[in-house]
Amino acid sequence: MNDLIPLARGLYGIWLREVMRAVRDRGQLIGGVSRPLIWLLILGIGLNPYFRGEVYGEVRFVIPYTYLQFLFPAVIVLNIMYTSILFAVSVIWDREFGFLRAILVSPVPRGLILLGKILGGSTIATAHGGLVLILARFADITLSWSQVGLALLLMFGLSFGLTSFGVILAARVRSFEGFGVFSNTIILPLYFCSSSIFPLDPSLTRAQTAALYPEWLVFLVEINPITYAVDALRGVLINFHQFDPRLGPAVIIGLAVAFFFIAWLDFRRR
């Protein structure tokens, strides 16, 4: 027991450093604010008229929500994806500037170092996702405290998985230069293929969906794990599921466990 307290302090220290740095990093915070504003205000409002009802009984997509409400959970996921995956920058920073060595000579076990960093990154990403909740009023979503709690829990699970993914990427990227590429090759494709900005209508059968969208797009959406994370958040925030409600949390937990394990294998090998 007495051995655990110093280890807990070490874990806390590593976590605290990540969080401390993030709240001082204006650039990152600006990104965390401008993304939801752009996506929700500009895109959401821009497309709102196209999803508007004109004749009672006739809408293109029969989803029981407005477009803004539909988009809202996806924007949370987008914000989390950016913050989590770009956490790799922090990992590379530590490596390049030698800070990692200073931690590695300390008595904190490597697994705990990794856990502390990932927990720190997940906390930041969850906070960035949580910031979007402030806009709920704008999207006309009323939330109870239990909904907020459950949503934050899901966000944290997703953040943990994606931050681990960022760490895995960092181990495979040698320099800072690869970074502009990250958002364009990983984050945005995953986001667009996650049923985030257009719905795969659940009232349509598989065959009807395939008639509406080309088969390959439906395929991409269905194999994308982010799809199920978005779906889980929609379930909590606007009580709307396109897929089996159990699938979302299962995928989120699966991602977290699998990516943390790979990150741990990588880190141990170093």
Contact range with other proteins by CB under 8 A, out of 25-33, 158-166, 245-253, 257-265: 25-33
Query: Scanning residues 73 to 102, which ones bind other proteins (CB under 8 A)?
Result: 97-102
Binding status of residue 68 toward other proteins by CB under 8 A: yes
The two three-digit tokens of residue 265, written as one number: 């294998």
Binding status of residue 244 toward other proteins by CB under 8 A: no
Query: Scanning residues 27 to 46, which ones bind other proteins (CB under 8 A)?
Result: 29-30, 32-33, 36-37, 41, 44-45
Binding-site size for other proteins (CB under 8 A) equals 63
Q: How far is the CB of 99 from other proteins (least distance, A)?
A: 5
Binding status of residue 65 toward other proteins by CB under 8 A: yes
Q: How far is the CB of 35 from other proteins (least distance, A)?
A: 11
Binding status of residue 148 toward other proteins by CB under 8 A: no
Binding status of residue 137 toward other proteins by CB under 8 A: yes
C-alpha dihedral sign at 202, 203, 207, 212: negative
Binding status of residue 185 toward other proteins by CB under 8 A: no
Contact range with other proteins by CB under 8 A, out of 14-22, 153-161, 225-233, 261-269: 14-22
Query: Distance (Å, rounded) from C-alpha 107 to C-alpha 3?
Result: 11
- Annotate the chain with DSSP letters as a single string: -TTHHHHHHHHHHHHHHHHHHHHH-HHHHHHHHHHHIIIIIIIIHHHGGGG---BTTB-SS--SS-HHHHHHHHHHHHHHHHHHHTHHHHHHHHHHTTHHHHHHTSSS-HHHHHHHHHHHHHHHHHHHHHHHHGGGGTTT----HHHHHHHHHHHHHHHHHHHHHHHHHHHH--SGGGHHHHIIIIIHHHHHTTTSSS---TTS-HHHHHHHS-HHHHHHHHH-HHHHHHHHHHHHHH---SS-TTHHHHHHHHHHHHHHHHHHHHHHH-
The two three-digit tokens of residue 72, written as one number: 């809202």
Q: Closer to other proteins at the Cβ: 103 or 186?
A: 103
Contact range with other proteins by CB under 8 A, out of 127-135, 152-160, 178-186, 206-214: 127-135
Q: Closer to other proteins at the Cβ: 134 or 250?
A: 134
Contact range with other proteins by CB under 8 A, out of 10-18, 73-81, 191-199, 228-236: 10-18
- Per CB under 8 A, residues contacting other proteins are 5-7, 9-10, 12-14, 16-17, 20-21, 23-26, 29-30, 32-33, 36-37, 41, 44-45, 48-49, 51-59, 62-68, 97-109, 131-132, 134-135, 137-138, 140
